[in-house]
């Protein structure tokens, strides 16, 4: 995954945050953080990390079906919200109701009804830019007016592996403590996962939810997929964002929640050889 064929993967930022210069830290953002950014920012997306389902027919979400779509059983909170994983996910649909003693939840309505799942709180995100041209001050300012600097990530694969290792070390040292889905679980081992790739700019995908849907995607597949999608209506596709995502799982592969929705500042003092400053060209 090295930069090849003249392509560069790197990050626009304020000069004081440039780890190719004097800065020793990077900021790992969260979905919530990017949603709350200034609407004029080139990284703003208020629909980031959203999964949409359309109800094909009225379906009974038995434990088998809810496992298929959500990995965990679903219950109603009595306020037209379905709650998955003990309030970790909020699913809103006005046609949801409990069928009583069985504990199952039934979703009904016509085919226009949508279920929206908000997946904030599970992924750290590090956004970079892929470019086959010399980075320019103008390009940086289009993302954020404070971006007057750029550093190249020499090898993204090595970078992500090193950041995952550093996150793991911070977890061991109790600087960072992921939260289990269930309050009844005790964490014995925490694993750090990562994935990198280009962001896909498209209209939000709506998956059809039905009793007989044979999709092979797991809920975690859907979650990570939503992290690499951004809505075209915000007009950021020209940025060619290469995104790195990091998340935590337990020894059973179950997703763990981040300690908070705030960005995490990670010390990379010993990883400085992974970055190199590139002087920005100024437009003529």
pLDDT at 49: 77
pLDDT, tens digit, for every residue of 49-80?
777 777 665 555 555 555 555 554 444 444 44
With CA atoms as reference, report the closest residue to 138 among 283, 25, 251: 283
Q: Indicate the range of 46-50, 177-181, 208-212, 255-259 predicted with least confidence.
A: 208-212
pLDDT at 178: 82
138, burial (CB in 10 Å: exposed 0-12, middle 13-18, buried 19+)? exposed
Which two structure tokens, joined as six digits, stand for 132?
């086959």
Does pLDDT of 197 surpass 80?
yes
pLDDT at 14: 96
Do strands 124-131 and 8-13 pair parallel, antiparallel, or not at all (unpaired)? antiparallel
- Across the strands, what pairs with 25? 267
pLDDT at 173: 83
CA 19, 22, 23, 24 torsion-angle sign: positive
Residue 63 Cα distances to 102, 106, 256, angstroms = 11, 12, 21
pTM of the model: 0.79
Does pLDDT of 92 surpass 80?
no
Between CA 267 and CA 276 the distance in angstroms is 17
Q: What is the 3-state secondary structure (H, E, C) of 88-102?
A: CEEEECCCEEECCCC
Residue 161 Cα distances to 110, 173, 189, 257, angstroms = 46, 18, 18, 20
Q: Indicate the range of 147-151, 229-233, 252-256 predicted with least confidence.
A: 229-233
pLDDT at 186: 57
pLDDT at 268: 96
Does pLDDT of 258 surpass 80?
yes
Task: Check residues 126 and 67 and name the one with the higher pLDDT.
Answer: 126
Does pLDDT of 165 surpass 60?
yes
Computed over every residue of the chain, the mean pLDDT equals 75
Task: Check residues 222 and 105 and name the one with the higher pLDDT.
Answer: 222
Q: Which of helix, strand or coil describes residue 270? A: helix
Task: Check residues 28 and 83 and name the one with the higher pLDDT.
Answer: 28
With CA atoms as reference, report the closest residue to 129 among 9, 28, 6, 276: 9
Between CA 84 and CA 91 the distance in angstroms is 8
Average pLDDT of the segment spanning 136-142 = 91
Between CA 266 and CA 264 the distance in angstroms is 6
């Amino acid at each position: 995954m090295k930069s090849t064929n003249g392509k560069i993967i790197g990050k626009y930022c304020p000069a004081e945050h440039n780890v190719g210069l004097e800065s020793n830290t990077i900021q790992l953002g969260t979905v919530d953080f990017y949603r709350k950014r200034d609407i004029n920012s080139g990284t703003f997306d208020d629909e980031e990390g959203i999964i949409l389902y359309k109800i094909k027919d009225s379906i009974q979400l038995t434990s088998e079906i809810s496992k298929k779509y959500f990995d965990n059983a679903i219950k109603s909170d009595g306020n037209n919200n379905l709650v998955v994983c003990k309030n970790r996910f909020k699913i809103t649909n006005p046609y949801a109701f409990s069928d009583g003693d069985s504990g199952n939840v039934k979703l009904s309505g016509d085919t226009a009804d949508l279920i929206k799942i908000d997946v904030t709180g599970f992924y750290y995100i590090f956004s970079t830019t892929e470019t086959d041209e010399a980075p320019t001050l103008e390009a940086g300012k289009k993302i954020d007016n404070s971006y007057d600097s750029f550093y190249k990530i020499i090898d993204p694969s090595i970078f992500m592996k090193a950041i995952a290792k550093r996150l793991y070390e911070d977890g061991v040292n109790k600087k960072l403590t992921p939260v289990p889905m269930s309050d009844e679980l005790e964490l014995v081992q925490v694993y750090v996962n990562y994935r990198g790739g280009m962001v896909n700019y498209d209209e939000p995908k709506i998956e059809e939810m039905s009793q007989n849907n044979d999709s092979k995607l797991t809920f975690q597949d859907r979650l990570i997929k939503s992290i690499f999608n951004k809505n075209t209506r915000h007009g950021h596709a020209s940025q060619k964002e290469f995104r790195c995502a990091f998340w935590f799982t337990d020894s059973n592969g179950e997703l763990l929640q981040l300690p908070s929705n705030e960005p995490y500042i990670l010390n990379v003092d010993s990883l400085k050889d992974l970055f190199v400053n590139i002087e920005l060209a100024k437009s003529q």
